Amino acid sequence: MRIIVCIKQVPDTEELGKVKINPATNTLKREGVSSIINPFDENAVEEALRLRERKGGKVTALSMGPPQAEEALRKTLAMGVDRAILLSDKAFAGADTLATSYVLAVAIKKIGEFDLILSGKQAIDGDTAQVGPGIAEWLSIPQLTYIRKLEVNDNKVRAERVLEDSFEVVETSLPCLVTVTKDINEPRYPSLRGLLKAKKEEIPIWSCHDLSVERKRVGADGSPTQVIKIFTPQPPGKGEILSGEISEVADRLIREIKKRKIV
Amino acid sequence: MAKIEILIDKCTGCKKCIPSCPFSLITVEDKKAKIMEGCTFCGACLEACPLEAILLEREEKKIDLSSFRGVWVFAEQRDGEIMPVTYELLGAGRGLADELGESLSVILLGSNLKEKVKELLQYDLEKIYQVQSPFLKSYKTSLYTQAMTDLVKRECPEIILIGATSLGRDFAPRLATRLKTGLTADCTGLEIDGESRNLIQTRPALGGNIMASIISPYHRPQISTVRPKVMRRAKPVSGKDIEIIEIEPRLDEKDDLVSILNIIKEEGEVADLQEAEIIVSGGRGLGKAENFSLIEKLAELLGGAVGASRAVVDAGWIPSYHQVGQTGKTVQPKLYIACGISGAIQHQVGMRTSDIIVAINKDAEAPIFDIATFGIVEDVHKFLPLFIEKLESEKQASTPSPLPSPLRG
Ligand SMILES: Cc1cc2nc3c(=O)[nH]c(=O)nc-3n(C[C@H](O)[C@H](O)[C@H](O)COP(=O)(O)OP(=O)(O)OC[C@H]3O[C@@H](n4cnc5c(N)ncnc54)[C@H](O)[C@@H]3O)c2cc1C
Ligand SMILES: Nc1ncnc2c1ncn2[C@@H]1O[C@H](COP(=O)(O)O)[C@@H](O)[C@H]1O
């Protein structure tokens, strides 16, 4: 199987709380926030590796981002992917999900024939969940989103989709794009061999010139949406500590809940 | 390619532009402003500059936006029922349509829509598009995208609102990509900019740590997925004159790419955490799996759903679809009771917008108390049984005794 996994580098989730807005200037303060692979994308990598173990083939990790996104790709090499490609160019900066999925789709076409594309269900920085379906649309292939179980047999893909109150068992044929939830597997730790390989492996960087992209479709120019403002959400605010004798506290809580007519 | 430039002779290094950049990309070096890499050409700094020292050249996108009119709401159905989020979108859509002086339409896709149309006729809207075909019986990405794209191209709406549900977030990106237009995910605020008629879409990002306002100034339609339970539901009205437009979509069997083999319902009363008005959640502080029965008991008493932290899901105490947080579900109930949960940031981002948060934790320093409306510093094993007992006796006291039956004299 020829599998492509799309991964994104995001701010470290442990430190997301540190990404604060400077109230004086209303700008983002990102000092001291390190980067990781989007957690769901690690599940996507893991699933790709498991499929390769069962079916043979080749796994390619693909990411669009600034030069430092190479770090995240190195981790996928350490986990065991066969090769990693970084799409990086100043012209890609400021891309929204339409422009991002476009560049990724063009790169996938350049890579050549593929059977399966895997991505995370969403990236934890933007939480949009739009890039996966976007890639599928640019490539005119079916998409299966929010997948927690995946089976591939011959040309058929059978999968379980997570819905609000149920699961859907769906089937389609290859090639297709699948976005995964964290339920699908437990990502492995890199092996020592993997780490060594990742260290010396060359990661090609493809820029605008390496891809047959229409310039008006990439980066900020290719992005219909624009962020015009950011601000800190109204903090819920520290409330009240109900103190006193435990039985009184319980009574008080019942009164508070009743007062608001919730129950 | 858009270009942005600081006009060196005009710039005095006054720094007024620095705070205006949503991405912190402006610095001042040697009394001249400098724009770093990553600019999205949003133009916020232009307005901030008192000296017109910033030059922005955007490729003028000459599309006539004025031919796009009206606000559309996509009516989501599940198991043949119109989902509650549809009425919330109708509530929000009405406000936007009035502001724009345009009509509000609802788009209904399906195979047997007569009853659904009747239901929607009770609401304050101008048009119902009834798109009927056996191919649209249940939601399929490719067929729904095809039917909707054709309709959008024919009718040219200005705004389309879709619920940010698992269906909506599968459908909307496919649709927006085919139309090559802007889509904003999971919006919690929508308003119209009076001058430009742009839809200002506000949404949480970075796990709820910041809010971002987003526009699509050169593209129509503007599409948003809207978070359920945030907008005020439309109320039924009477005497509205509503136009019903029947559409026969051109769909092809070969576009039916995915088959749905089976639908498995989750067990449990209120499985849908995201729809629940009350959630009782348990964390590692409960000590062991068996103690989760306290959480279940309390949830049942309050008529709520059961949530959990990732620590207890990982420990296998409860299945993962109960998990609340960054890698679990985002919930927004009226009441969230966190029992023995420390309140790590990844948990908080999934529940911090709940109306009332009650936290029970024996550690007064636990971060959950930073966001709790009511904090209770107690041992869950002491507090919960007592609280449950009190609720039970209240319930008994308030249940009216049965009327004397004639049979019993
Ligand atoms: C990438 C990533 C994603 C994550 N996503 C999520 C997510 O989606 N959801 C999530 O919940 N977590 C998530 N986490 C994990 C998160 O960081 C925390 O580890 C987790 O939420 C902790 O769960 P907890 O509060 O149940 O356990 P703990 O942190 O161990 O807290 C237990 C609490 O119970 C209290 N306690 C102990 N005994 C008692 C008692 N007898 N009575 C009262 N209180 C008691 C303790 O004081 C403590 O505060 C994620 C982590 C990462 C790295
Ligand atoms: N810049 C990127 N490079 C590679 N993959 C990406 C990128 N952005 C998003 N993705 C993929 O798309 C998924 C959804 O991202 P998003 O739409 O941003 O929530 C992620 O989990 C990744 O698999």
Which pLDDT tens digit goes with each residue over B189-208?
999 998 889 999 999 887 77
Cβ–ligand 1 distance for B307 under 6 Å, the answer: no
Decide if A49 is inside a domain.
yes
Q: Please tell me if residue A167 touches chain B, with a CB cutoff of 8 Å.
A: yes
Q: How far is the CA of B346 from the centre of ligand 1 (A)?
A: 9
Decide if A98 is inside a domain.
yes
Decide if A243 is inside a domain.
no
Res B330 pLDDT > 90? no
Mean pLDDT, chain A, whole residue set:
91
Do the beta carbons of residue A177 and residue A4 sit within 8 Å?
no
Which pLDDT tens digit goes with each residue over B63-87?
678 899 999 999 999 988 999 999 9
Higher-confidence residue of B46 and B224: namely B224
Instruction: Give the domain range for residue A157.
Output: 2-222
Higher-confidence residue of B154 and B195: namely B154
Average pLDDT over residues B217-229: 94
Which pLDDT tens digit goes with each residue over B175-187?
999 999 999 999 9
Q: Which ligand is nearest to the CA of B382?
A: 1
Average pLDDT over residues B49-73: 83
Using an 8 Å CB-CB cutoff, list chain B residues near A246: 378, 382-383, 386
Decide if A235 is inside a domain.
no
What is the CB neighbour count within 10 angstroms for residue A140? 10
Domains located in chain B, CATH noted: 3-57 (3.30.70.20), 65-252 (3.40.50.620), 268-397 (3.40.50.1220)
Res A24 pLDDT > 60? no
Closest protein CA for atom 8 of ligand 2: A8
Do the beta carbons of residue A39 and residue A120 sit within 8 Å?
yes
CATH number at residue A137: 3.40.50.620
Residues ≥6 apart with Cβ < 8 Å to B278 = A262, A263, B299, B302, B303, B304, B305, B333, B334, B335, B336, B337
Decide if A47 is inside a domain.
yes
Q: Tokens 């008005």 appear where?
A: B277
Using an 8 Å CB-CB cutoff, list chain B residues near A231: 210-211, 213
Residue type, A17: G
The ipTM is: 0.85
pLDDT band at residue B400 under the 50/70/90 scheme? low
What is each CA distance from A60 to A9, A113, A115, A195, B296, in whole angstroms? 16, 12, 12, 17, 45
Residue of B nearest to A147 (CA): B166
Alpha-carbon torsion (A131, A134, A139, A145), positive or negative: positive
Q: Tokens 């297709």 appear where?
A: A176
CA A68/CA A212 separation, integer angstroms: 23
Taking an 8 Å cut-off on Cβ atoms, the answer to whether A229 and B44 are in contact is yes
Which pLDDT tens digit goes with each residue over B273-320?
877 899 999 999 999 999 999 999 999 999 999 999 999 999 999 988
Ligand 2 cavity residues, CB under 6 Å? A 6-8, 38, 40-41, 44, 62-65, 97, 100, 104, 119-120, 122-123, 126, 128-132
Res A203 pLDDT > 80? yes
Burial of B403 (0-12, 13-18, 19+ CB in 10 A): exposed
Highest mean pLDDT among B163-177, B227-241, B324-338: B163-177
What is each CA distance from B360 to A247, B59, B145, B279, B385, in whole angstroms? 14, 56, 46, 14, 13
Decide if A238 is inside a domain.
no
**What is residue A209's DSSP assignment?**
G
What total of structural domains would you count in chain A?
1
Residue type, A21: I
Cβ–ligand 1 distance for B341 under 6 Å, the answer: yes
Burial of B75 (0-12, 13-18, 19+ CB in 10 A): buried
Q: Tokens 């639908």 appear where?
A: B263
Res B406 pLDDT > 60? no
pLDDT at B409: 37
Decide if A227 is inside a domain.
no
Taking an 8 Å cut-off on Cβ atoms, the answer to whether A226 and B216 are in contact is yes
Q: Please tell me if residue A67 touches chain B, with a CB cutoff of 8 Å.
A: no
Interface of A with B in 202-261 (CB under 8 A): 215-216, 219-221, 223-233, 235-243, 246-247, 249-251, 253-254, 256-257, 260
Q: A77: helix, coil or strand?
A: helix
What is the CB neighbour count within 10 angstroms for residue A12? 14
Do the beta carbons of residue B70 and residue B96 sit within 8 Å?
no
Burial of B119 (0-12, 13-18, 19+ CB in 10 A): middle
Higher-confidence residue of B403 and A211: namely A211
A178 sits in which H/E element:
strand A176-180
b or e along A190-202 (b: 16 or more beta carbons within 10 Å of the residue's beta carbon)? beeebeeebeeee
The pick from B294, B313, B341 for probing ligand 1's pocket by mutation, whose C-beta has the most ligand atoms within 8 angstroms, reads B341
Res A140 pLDDT > 90? yes
Decide if A172 is inside a domain.
yes
φ and ψ at residue B74, rounded to 5 degrees: -85, 125
